[in-house]
């Protein structure tokens, strides 16, 4: 999941800080997920996904 997150983030031209602000976490959390040091819970993933989709659509 971490590599896919990084791939999508870079494809959209977002920095870790920008993505972190969009989903309501710290840039460190994004870095840790991308580095496979931590894993987000399913509810957190779903909520984050909805927030990002709204941002990308508008």
Between these two residues, 47 and 25, which has the higher pLDDT value? 25
Q: Could you report the per-residue pLDDT of 12-26, keeping only the tens digit for each? A: 898 999 988 888 889
Domains observed in the chain: 2-57 (1.10.260.40)
Task: Name the percent of the chain lying above pLDDT 90.
Answer: 14
Q: What is the 3-state secondary structure (H, E, C) of the chain?
A: CHHHHHHHHHHCCCCHHHHHHHHCCCHHHHHHHHCCCCCCCHHHHHHHHHHHHHHHHC
């Amino acid at each position: 999941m971490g590599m896919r997150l990084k791939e999508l983030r870079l494809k959209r031209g977002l920095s870790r800080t920008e993505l972190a602000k969009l989903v309501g976490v710290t840039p460190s959390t994004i870095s840790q997920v991308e580095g496979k040091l931590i894993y987000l819970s399913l509810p957190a993933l779903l909520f984050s996904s909805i927030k990002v989709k709204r941002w990308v659509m508008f």
